[in-house]
Structure 1
């Protein structure tokens, strides 16, 4: 890529300290909260407005881990009354939770690709690019 990279700035409303882990999260979701929060605080991108997305991301990751444990224990299929094999319902929940977690991870800059994209530009620099 030619040219100068945009000047990135942190959000002035970004949290400087980590909020407490919500007590109502599952144990898996609490572990994920504690794992990712230091990075979000250090990068100064997390604001009060983002807490709902952070909670939803942690819930989704918690569900992924819980459903995977169920599938490892009970298997991915089960025998229905008709004698046919059916997909375990935990597989559907797992798939949905993985999709939600991936989408939320991108929104919060938790993936390598999303971290490499410029998120916030100075207004002056953006205007100069249009000239």
Structure 2
């Protein structure tokens, strides 16, 4: 990439208090909201712009839990009348797990995402030990 890098500005519009879970979320999604939002607020990394992604993350986790309950009752393999086949809940759950994993990384909810260096602040002069 040629030229100078753009100066990144930190979004200081952080959420100061844990907002209530949206009423339209499932019970499982609301439980996940109540579990992770206080942590994100405490770490001061949750902004208003992140709330949509957070909602999607909670929906995905809620769906994972709903499908797991269905699989626990019906089993991973069901009789369709024409023989055994995979329970559709297994594929739905797998898709939701992947979405939740990706969104968790974006929100800083995974060990790897927490270990990444944060965006420098405006007060940071940009100097580093690497000479950049």
- Using the size of structure 1 for normalisation, the TM-score is 0.85
Aligned pairs, number? 121
For residues 16 and 124 of structure 1, the distance between their equivalents in structure 2, rounded to whole angstroms, comes to 21
Structure with the larger RCO, 1 or 2 (CA within 8 Å, 6+ apart): 1
- Using the size of structure 2 for normalisation, the TM-score is 0.84
Match of 1:54 in 2: 54
Structure that is richer in helix per residue? 1
Q: In structure 1, list runs of 5 or more residues that go unmatched.
A: 1-9
Aligned residue for 2:127, secondary structure, equals helix
2:120/2:126 contact within 8 Å kept? no
For residues 91 and 46 of structure 1, the distance between their equivalents in structure 2, rounded to whole angstroms, comes to 32
Match of 1:95 in 2: 94
Structure 1 residue ranges (4+ consecutive) displaced by more than 4 angstroms after TM superposition = 123-126
> What per-residue deviation string (whole Å, max 9, x for no partner) do you get for residues 21-69 of structure 1?
1000000000000000111001111111110000000000000000001
> Which is further off, 97-106 or 120-129?
120-129
1:28/1:62 contact within 8 Å kept? yes
Deviation at 1:80, TM superposition (A): 2.5
1:11/1:45 contact within 8 Å kept? no
Structural RMSD (CA): 1.7
> What per-residue deviation string (whole Å, max 9, x for no partner) do you get for residues 67-103 of structure 1?
00100100011122322x2100000100000000000
